[in-house]
Amino acid sequence: MKIFFYALRPFDELEYCARFAKQYGADYAWTAEAPNPGNLRLAAGCDAVSTNPCEITPDYLRAWADMGVRFLPCRSIGYDHIPLQAAKQLGLRVSHSHYPPEGVANYTIMLMLMATRKMNQIMLRAAVQDYSLPGKMGRDLSGCTVGVVGAGKIGRTVLRHLAGFGCRLLAYDLYPQPEAGVPAEYVSLDTLYAESDVITLHLNATPQNHHLIDAAAIAKMKDGVLLINTARGTLIEPEALVAGLESGKVGGAGLDVVEDEAGICYYDRSGQPLKNRELALLRSFPNVIVSPHTAFYTDVNVASMVQSAFEAAARFAAGEPEPNEVKL
259, 261, 311, 322: the catalytic one is 261
The yes-or-no answer on residue 70 being catalytic is no
Non-local CB neighbours of 295 within 8 Å, separated by 6+ positions:
103, 104, 107, 108, 230, 256
- Answer yes or no: are the C-beta atoms of 239 and 105 closer than 8 Å: no
Torsion of CA 15, 16, 18, 24, to 10 degrees: 180
Catalytic hit among 75, 293, 311, 322: 293
Backbone angles phi, psi at 170, to 5 degrees: -115, 150
List Cβ neighbours of 145 (8 Å cut-off, separation of 6 or more): 167, 168, 169, 170, 195, 196, 197, 198
Q: How are beta strands 288-290 and 250-255 bridged, if at all?
A: parallel
Active-site residue, 261 included: yes
Q: Which residues contact 43 (CB under 8 A, 6 or more apart)?
A: 4, 6, 49, 64, 67, 69
Helices marked H in the chain: 14-24, 58-67, 84-90, 102-116, 119-127, 153-162, 189-195, 215-219, 238-247, 277-283, 299-318
**Residues 51/83, Cβ–Cβ less than 8 Å:** no
What's the gap between Cα 75 and its chain centre? 12
Q: Find the catalytic residue in 93, 96, 232, 315.
A: 232
* DSSP annotation of 169: E
Extended strands (E) in 202-305: 225-229, 250-255, 288-290
How far apart, in whole angstroms, are the C-alpha atoms of residue 110 and residue 92? Answer: 38
Supply the residues annotated as catalytic: 232, 261, 293
